[in-house]
Amino acid sequence: MQPPDITRVFKGLGMEFEVEIVFANEGNQSPEEGHDYDEIVIVAQGVISLKRDDWDQEQALGKYDTMVLPAGTVHRISVVEAPARVVIVHPERQ
């Protein structure tokens, strides 16, 4: 699978606040991963599929849907309807 086009912005004294601006197309998919910080996923355009290790099934998220992924949640994001535009916020990345 192809990775999406991601722009990252870091702010704060320790660069602990991160915003990812994601432009994703058909076939794009993130790796299955977890983080030691919370993550907020906001869909601005398109439809994505979110797989979480604490869910039985994947869930589709569309325009203006928001999902909070608590620290430690293993997840994967796939594009269902392209183009997809997603904003991912890490408010306390260490």
Q: For every one of its 94 residues, what pLDDT tens digit does the chain have, with 9 covering 90 and above?
A: 667 899 999 999 999 999 999 999 999 999 999 999 999 999 999 999 999 999 999 999 999 999 999 999 999 999 999 999 999 999 998 7
Note the CATH number of domain 5-90: 2.60.120.10
The neighbour count for residue 16, using CB atoms within 10 Å, is 14
Q: List CB contacts of 35: < 8 A, sequence separation 6 or more.
A: 69, 71, 72, 90, 93
Q: Return the domain boundaries, the chain.
A: 5-90
Q: Please, what is the end-to-end C-alpha distance for the chain in angstroms?
A: 28
Contact 48/23 with Cβ under 8 angstroms?
no
